[in-house]
Amino acid sequence: MPIDRYVVDFFCAEAHLVIEVDGGQHATADETNRTKVLEAMGYLVLRFWNNEVHENIDGVLESILSVIDRSGPPHPTPLPNGERESNRRVR
């Protein structure tokens, strides 16, 4: 999934979640910077090693679900110009 100048492995827009599955070649300063950029854009980045996915997929899925459960439902779209819901008129 393309996000800005990066292509991420998995992406959930509702949870603002990026999941990366990495091999040893990804343990670099470039990947650290990439994570910082994505986090600055408002995404939570979870990284799992290839062997974790192959050997413990249930644990990986539990980790992902735990993060999603803690974040709760997605936030509603903000009202324009800082309006409050109580100030909004029904037409």
The pLDDT assigned to 37 comes to 93
72 — phi, psi (to 5°)?
Answer: 75, -175
46: Cβ–Cβ under 8 A, 6 or more apart, which residues?
A: 17, 18, 19, 20, 63, 64, 67
pLDDT attached to residue 23:
74
Once rounded to an integer, what is the mean pLDDT over residues 20-44? 84
The pTM of this model reads 0.69
Q: Looking only at Cα atoms, what is the longest distance across the chain?
A: 58
* Res 42: pLDDT: 94
What pLDDT, on a 0 to 100 scale, did the predictor assign at position 40?
95
pLDDT at 28 over 60: yes
What pLDDT does 72 receive? 57
Mean pLDDT of all residues in 33-57? 93
pLDDT value, residue 90: 35
Which listed CATH number (1.10.3470, 2.60.40, 3.40.50, 3.40.960) goes with 2-80?
3.40.960
pLDDT on residue 77 = 47
Q: Do 21 and 50 touch, CB atoms closer than 8 A?
A: yes
